[in-house]
Amino acid sequence: MDVQREIDTRGLNCPLPILKAKKALAEMLSGELLRVVATDPSSMRDFQAFARQTGNELVQQETAGTEFIHVLRRR
């Protein structure tokens, strides 16, 4: 997967990972991919809701140990 930007939100709790992702997506072009690495377990459902509400596509979510990885495509 060709990700254009990645942000590290490890150690941050809701709503900070979402707010940082929103800011990063605003600086990206339509169709570009953003990878967000988080440690907050609630980020799994938070990013699902964020994608539904904003129209950005949640391309992938995975859990890697204590990290939660989210890939979003900018609308």
pLDDT for 8-37, tens place per residue?
999 999 999 999 999 999 999 999 999 999
d(CA 24, CA 59): 16
Of the candidates 14, 28, 44, 59, the residue annotated as catalytic is 14
d(CA 60, CA 70): 6
Task: Determine the average pLDDT of the residues in 33-62.
Answer: 98
Can you give the pLDDT at residue 1? 87
Mean pLDDT of the chain: 97
Can you give the pLDDT at residue 13? 96
Q: Sheet containing 33-38: which strands, arranged edge to edge?
A: 5-9, 33-38, 67-73, 57-64
Taking the alpha carbons of 73, 68, 48, 20 in that order, is the dihedral positive or negative?
A: negative
* Phi/psi at 37 (5° precision): -105, 120
Can you give the pLDDT at residue 67? 98
Residue 14 falls in the annotated catalytic set: yes
Can you give the pLDDT at residue 58? 98
